[in-house]
Chain A
Amino acid sequence: MPVSSASAPTSTARSVKDLRVGESGTICCLNDPEMALKLLEMGCIPGTQVRLNSKAPLGCPVTLVLGNGDYTLSLRVSEAATIMLRD
């Protein structure tokens, strides 16, 4: 089940929030079920590659590049924190 409403992620689990600018990762799951619906529609599907493209001057929001440079999303850090990455 890629979308889990299960307990809070363990401290070792990384989310998109933890990426440095320019760094990539692969989406493993989305841990906020309601937010997940929106993120899924916008193409944040488990298994998709995601790169942290830039941060706003004040650190939030951030922009992500999804897939193979297909398109760019902008979202708040709190929203990015619900996108968990594979190890």
Chain B
Amino acid sequence: MGSVDVTIKRAGAGISAATLETASPRLPGTLTRIALIGNPNSGKSSLFNQLTGLNQKVGNFPGVTVDRKTGVAQITPLLRAEIIDLPGTYSLYPKSLDERVITDLLYDQTSAQYPDFVVVTADASNLRRNLLLFTQLADLGLPAVLALNMMDTAEQHGIKIDVAALQQEVGVPVIPMNARKGIGIAALKIVMGQQLAPPTVRFYEPTEELLPMIRQIRYYFNLHNDYLALHYAHQYQRINFLTADEQAYIGELVQQYGFEPTAQQAQETIDRYARINELLLNVVEVTRTEEAEPYSNRIDRVLTHKVWGYLIFFGVLFLMFQAVFAWASYPMELIDEGVAWINQLVQSNFEGPLISLLTEGVLAGLGGVLIFIPQISLLFAFIAVLEETGYMARVTFMMDRIMRKFGLNGKSVVPLISGVACAVPAIMSARTIENWKDRIITIFVTPLMSCSARIPVYTVLIGLVVPDVPVLGIFNLRGIALMGLYLLGFFAAILSALAMKFLLKTRERSYFIMEFPVYRWPRWKNVGITIVEKVKTFVFQAGKVIVAISVILWVLASYGPGDQLAQAETQARTTATQQQLSPEETENAVASAKLENSYAGTIGHLLEPGIRPLGFDWKIGISLITSFAAREVFVGTISTIYSVGQDADTRTIQQKLATARDSQGQPFFTPVRALSLLVFYVFAMQCMSTLAVTYRETKGWKWPILQAVYMTGLAYAASLLVYQLGS
């Protein structure tokens, strides 16, 4: 799977990365390392996309949920550079776990990852605030280039920047550009191709009283400047590469000199702004055309209106939901049929247990991975456009008050609603939530929303036990039952979020403060790259887990202890001959007997005492296990067990289930029993893909395991309650 090589021709370079790789094999260690850093909304991602195109790799930073995005850029025909895209930040003092990857990278000069220089993106229309981060980086002594982005927006705002004067003031190369349109990229590459000296201008000097402490830290750790030493004094408890002794050493100094980090940091920020104001006096000239109301404000008056705002938002959500739910089903069917066709092709030409493993285990698992691609692509096309245009900030703005009550975030609306279609892309979309706790809660409760894979289960069981009668003339009792199940899932999600709000402790303080971006047209290239990146991440990272579990499930369903399986088959055939069944009926009976005697069947029997209080027997037990591949597999399994054959339609299955009798000869699927099973399917975590994606998004097994235990526990308790009260 890992051999998919993406080769694209980049405009300007005119030579594909792969060609170059073969032409001049690069020596290890000769690749220039460049870190891309800047404020959120300063066009950093656009610049990263322009420089690296599809040559991007998404990996992990150790210990945090942030993705480590790197890419290779062709700077000159002979020079390639590895570019690392750091998370957007307003300053070098990290506020969140995720922002710490920046300081981890920039503090350790001896690290192999240490960048040769940094490219700082700054929004030219908002230079004052963007320069804060730049001045901190410059004071760290890192060679830097200032990419003055969004020059067009600045111009529209009547802001004129004297680039030569700015370059003089900041002491590093300044490149005016417009990354979204690709303007200035060539100039930036020329500068990036040169040997850069460390910056010469200092913007902030620590006060005299701090110097003794700073100098001691500086010489002890052999650091190249005072400002870095000051950061050590601030962050020593959280610097991973320091030993406990080294941390204790700094701790003592901090105590001894009575260093107050918060006050110092506040004063530093104020001093920096004063210095920036001063230097901008000669650089920026604002001729504001007074004062046609900014177009963003006028748009906001409609889009965040208390009536229209919500109506439009629900319209957007509905469109999104429709896309993931309905539009995606066409390509999904194609993928499904395609995989089935390949399976058929292999099965009709080869035979044997290995082929069976390949088709029913590996290929089925791969199909189970690929099937999600249309949904993920469509959902992220929407999300990327919402983010790019600035509308997502308005969504958060409108929904925050409501969602916050439940421990969620304004942005949680998108994952929750998407969860009604499918939890997999929905959980991936929780990535847009910056706050760790809000994001974890959102990821945790999203699978409780009834997804489309539950519909086949709901349909079969509701059709079985709920009579098709009108209610109040216009409604239908079956429709009401179905809606009830959706509402049950929704309330479970909301209430679980509320509970987690109180249970989950975090040291990270939650801020809402964010920049309210102006509306912009989306850049389709960025949208496209987002989609490709999300699909790749899912296929290669969550996909591995899905294929593995699929293979395990196949083994469980196709093999049994000892020669039990073979015996069962022989016996089923004998009985079938005695009863003079048709060949098709015989095959169905054999499949049913084999499944009963497989490991899955054995586990189903073992489970029976545990699930009997819920009204379930071993047949349902087997279905619960196989459902783990995906909930809709329930229908296929239950048909196999009741010998109706895999491909029977809903009506046939219902008829068969209706005739099932318990040991007293009464109908097995009573309304209470069916309801208990339905409730179980509303709550239970029965989806390996969801678990795999939670694993991938939280970067560990803790949350997926907790999620599985919680949801399945909830399902057990609820079904128990229903069945015991009902019967």
Q: Do A and B bind each other?
A: yes
Binding site for B on A (CB under 8 A): 2-3, 33-43, 45-46, 53-54, 56-61, 63, 67-76, 79
Decide: A41 and B512 in contact? CB cutoff 8 A: no
Decide: A58 and B270 in contact? CB cutoff 8 A: no
| With A41-B90, A60-B400, A69-B288: A2-B511 Cβ-Cβ less than 8 Å | no
Task: For chain B, residues 266 to 315, give those with C-beta under 8 angstroms from any C-beta of chain A.
Answer: 266-267, 269-270, 273, 286, 288, 291, 294, 296-297, 300, 304-306, 309-310
| With A68-B286, A69-B294: A79-B512 Cβ-Cβ less than 8 Å | yes
Cβ of B717 within 8 Å of any chain A Cβ, yes or no, is no
Decide: B401 and A61 in contact? CB cutoff 8 A: yes
Which residues from B are CB-within-8-Å of A79? 511-513
Jot down 27 A-B pairs with beta carbons below 8 A, ordered by A: A2-B266, A3-B263, A33-B262, A37-B95, A37-B265, A37-B269, A38-B511, A40-B270, A40-B273, A42-B129, A57-B305, A57-B306, A57-B310, A58-B398, A59-B401, A68-B288, A69-B294, A70-B126, A71-B126, A71-B129, A71-B516, A72-B296, A72-B516, A74-B393, A74-B514, A76-B400, A79-B513
Decide: A75 and B305 in contact? CB cutoff 8 A: no
Cβ of B21 within 8 Å of any chain A Cβ, yes or no, is no
Please report whether the interface of chain B is mostly helix, strand, loop or mixed according to DSSP: helix
Which residues from B are CB-within-8-Å of A37? 93, 95, 262, 265-266, 269
Which chain A residue has the least Cβ–Cβ distance from B132? Answer: A41
Cβ of B699 within 8 Å of any chain A Cβ, yes or no, is no
How far is the CB of B211 from the nearest CB of chain A, in Å? 21
Q: A-facing mask of B122-145, CB < 8 A → 1, else 0?
A: 000110110010000000000000
Question: Which of B396, B397, B513 is A39 in contact with, Cβ under 8 Å?
Answer: B513
Binding site for A on B (CB under 8 A): 90-91, 93, 95, 125-126, 128-129, 132, 262-263, 265-267, 269-270, 273, 286, 288, 291, 294, 296-297, 300, 304-306, 309-310, 393, 396-398, 400-402, 509, 511-516, 518
Which residues from B are CB-within-8-Å of A54? 297, 300, 304
Decide: B398 and A76 in contact? CB cutoff 8 A: no
Question: Which of B266, B291, B400, B515 is A61 in contact with, Cβ under 8 Å?
Answer: B400
Which residues from A are CB-within-8-Å of B126? 70-71
7 shortest interchain CB distances as A-B pairs = A57-B306, A72-B516, A58-B401, A40-B269, A41-B90, A74-B516, A75-B513
Decide: B516 and A73 in contact? CB cutoff 8 A: yes
In the bound assembly, the distance between CA atoms of A35 and B430 in angstroms comes to 25
How far is the CB of B335 from the nearest CB of chain A, in Å? 41
Decide: A42 and B402 in contact? CB cutoff 8 A: no
Which chain A residue has the least Cβ–Cβ distance from B123? Answer: A71
In the bound assembly, the distance between CA atoms of A70 and B300 in angstroms comes to 17
Decide: A34 and B509 in contact? CB cutoff 8 A: yes
Question: Which of B93, B273, B402, B518 is A58 in contact with, Cβ under 8 Å?
Answer: B402
Decide: B90 and A63 in contact? CB cutoff 8 A: no
In the bound assembly, the distance between CA atoms of A41 and B40 in angstroms comes to 13
Which residues from A are CB-within-8-Å of B128? 43, 67, 70
How far is the CB of B299 from the nearest CB of chain A, in Å? 12
Question: Which of B125, B132, B400, B514 is A56 in contact with, Cβ under 8 Å?
Answer: B400
| With A40-B266, A61-B512: A56-B397 Cβ-Cβ less than 8 Å | yes
How far is the CB of B151 from the nearest CB of chain A, in Å? 16
How far is the CB of A43 from the nearest CB of chain B, in Å? 4
In the bound assembly, the distance between CA atoms of A41 and B262 in angstroms comes to 13
Which residues from B are CB-within-8-Å of A38? 95, 511, 513
How far is the CB of A59 from the nearest CB of chain B, in Å? 7
Which residues from B are CB-within-8-Å of A72? 296, 515-516, 518
Which residues from A are CB-within-8-Å of B511? 35, 38, 79
In the bound assembly, the distance between CA atoms of A59 and B404 in angstroms comes to 13
Question: Which of A34, A61, A69 is B262 in contact with, Cβ under 8 Å?
Answer: A34
Decide: A74 and B288 in contact? CB cutoff 8 A: no
In the bound assembly, the distance between CA atoms of A43 and B126 in angstroms comes to 10
Question: Which of B129, B266, B291, B396 is A36 in contact with, Cβ under 8 Å?
Answer: B266
